[in-house]
């Protein structure tokens, strides 16, 4: 696919990868950067490799989206709860512990492998290692996600995610009880300056310029569903969908997610009021207590608004039951 665009006055000063990712044919900033690094982008007829290159009004940008390459991916049979399926897409309740897609050197045991076993056709826009993948859930987060079977469907769904019109709601069990009934965390996220595998809140005046340029706006709305003596069940609605967004945002307001080994310290060992049953349940819960309970979007073909809800998995439900037995404060 070959495309051409003349830079407008309103686009002057933008990064080239930012411009490219604004087109419907390019689903993410990462895909735009891959196109640049592979020599598939021209500015005024010259190959541009730098994602940070600033563009100017009047320049001609040409880019080529190459056909999908082959990869050593094999279909594998695995447990996969399907909530809805038609010729355009599949909606899945992903189990905790399942990795979304293969990575270099790790080509098996992922959701993509299971999808390939289930159906022959998946969209190729996400790249050879991510067929059908429109959005992602962390490995140890359970819940609803949508997968595209065709490129047209993938582009339509990706546009909805870009425009923040998709409805996404999560439930999280967190340490501590918020004083307010609801709130909003509006804090940009970026890579942690030291722990590069972690995300962190990026303050405008507290980070070096190179880091602040990489920050991404992130907004999480939360409300309390149930209060316990030392914990709470929250509903979290996303305006944006950044990596680890809910986990970092809740930690930033002093309420890290129970079981999350990466963000925030657990007060578990300091609590003397926990029953033996609850103590054992928390000890055995070896992931973040975060569940993507609801996903809503416009169907790319019919134009109908669809919403899907996934019940808590057994481990989350058992943890919640033990919390409730420990005398919930309503």
Instruction: Give me the residue label for tokens 């416009």.
Output: 298
Banded pLDDT at 268 (limits 50, 70, 90)? low
* Local structure of 271: helix, strand or coil: coil
Instruction: Give me the residue label for tokens 């149930």.
Output: 226
pLDDT of residue 185: 96
- What is the mean pLDDT of the segment spanning 76-89? 94
pLDDT of residue 211: 45
- What is the mean pLDDT of the segment spanning 256-262? 90
pLDDT of residue 81: 95
Find the DSSP H helices in 270-326: 276-284, 314-325
Check residues 157 and 284 and name the one with the higher pLDDT: 157
pLDDT of residue 212: 44
pLDDT of residue 109: 87
Count Cα atoms within 13 angstroms, Cβ side, for 39.
Answer: 0
pLDDT of residue 160: 95
Which of the residues are catalytic? Answer: 138
Banded pLDDT at 105 (limits 50, 70, 90)? low
Find the DSSP H helices in the chain: 16-21, 29-37, 111-118, 151-162, 209-212, 245-252, 276-284, 314-325
pLDDT of residue 329: 46
pLDDT of residue 209: 45
Instruction: Give me the residue label for tokens 């569903």.
Output: 225
Please give the model's pTM, rounded to 2 decimal places. 0.78
Burial bucket for residue 217 (CB in 10 Å: 0-12, 13-18, 19+): exposed
Indicate if the pLDDT at residue 311 is higher than 50. Answer: yes
- Tokens of residue 45, six digits: 């007829």
Indicate if the pLDDT at residue 119 is higher than 70. Answer: yes
Banded pLDDT at 269 (limits 50, 70, 90)? low
Task: Convert the pLDDT of each residue in 58-71 to its tens digit.
Answer: 999 998 887 655 55
Burial bucket for residue 136 (CB in 10 Å: 0-12, 13-18, 19+): middle
CB 222 within 8 A of CB 322: no
Q: What are phi and psi of 318, to 5 degrees?
A: -65, -40
Structural domains of the chain in order of their starting residue, each with its CATH number: 2-64 (3.10.290.10), 81-159 (3.30.2350.10), 168-325 (3.30.2350.10)
CB 29 within 8 A of CB 18: yes
- What is the mean pLDDT of the segment spanning 95-106? 81
Count Cα atoms within 13 angstroms, Cβ side, for 198.
Answer: 16
What sign does the dihedral 78-152-145-287 (CA atoms) show?
A: positive
Check residues 329 and 203 and name the one with the higher pLDDT: 203
pLDDT of residue 23: 78
pLDDT of residue 104: 58
Mean pLDDT is highest, among 102-106, 207-211, 224-228, for 224-228
DSSP 68-88: PPP----------EEEEE-SS
Mean per-residue pLDDT of the chain: 87
CB atoms closer than 10 angstroms to residue 141 = 24
**Element containing residue 227 per DSSP (H, E):** strand 219-227
- What is the mean pLDDT of the segment spanning 299-324? 95
Indicate if the pLDDT at residue 194 is higher than 60. Answer: yes
CB 92 within 8 A of CB 80: yes
Indicate if the pLDDT at residue 178 is higher than 60. Answer: yes
Indicate if the pLDDT at residue 46 is higher than 70. Answer: yes
């Amino acid at each position: 696919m070959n495309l051409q665009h003349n830079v407008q006055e309103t686009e002057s000063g933008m990064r080239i990868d930012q411009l490219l990712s604004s087109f419907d044919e390019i689903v993410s900033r990462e895909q735009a950067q891959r196109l640049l690094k592979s020599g598939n982008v021209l500015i005024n007829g010259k190959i541009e490799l730098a994602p940070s290159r600033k563009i100017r009004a009047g320049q001609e940008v040409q880019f080529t989206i190459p056909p999908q390459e082959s990869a050593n991916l094999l279909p594998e049979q695995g447990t996969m709860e399907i909530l809805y399926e038609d010729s355009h897409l599949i909606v899945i309740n992903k189990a905790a512990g399942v990795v979304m897609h293969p990575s270099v050197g790790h080509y098996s045991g992922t959701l993509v492998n299971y999808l390939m076993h289930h159906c022959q056709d998946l969209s190729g826009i996400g790249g050879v290692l991510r067929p059908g993948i429109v959005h992602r859930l962390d490995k140890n987060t359970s819940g609803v996600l949508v997968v595209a079977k065709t490129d047209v469907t993938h582009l339509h769904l990706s546009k909805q995610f870009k425009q923040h019109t998709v409805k996404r709601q999560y439930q999280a069990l967190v340490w501590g009880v918020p004083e307010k009934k609801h709130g909003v965390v509006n804090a940009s996220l970026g890579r942690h300056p030291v722990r590069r595998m972690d995300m962190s809140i990026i303050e405008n005046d507290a980070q070096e310029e190179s880091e602040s340029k990489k920050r991404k706006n992130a907004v999480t709305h939360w409300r309390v569903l149930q209060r316990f003596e030392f914990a709470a069940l929250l509903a979290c609605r996303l305006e944006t969908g950044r990596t680890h967004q809910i986990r970092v945002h809740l930690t930033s307001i002093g309420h890290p997610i129970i079981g999350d080994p990466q963000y925030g310290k657990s007060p578990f060992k300091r609590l003397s009021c926990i029953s033996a049953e609850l103590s054992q349940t928390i000890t055995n819960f070896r992931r973040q207590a975060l569940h993507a309970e609801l996903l809503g979007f416009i169907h790319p073909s019919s134009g109908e608004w669809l919403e899907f809800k996934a019940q808590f998995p057994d481990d989350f439900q058992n943890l919640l039951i033990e919390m409730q037995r420990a005398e919930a404060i309503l």
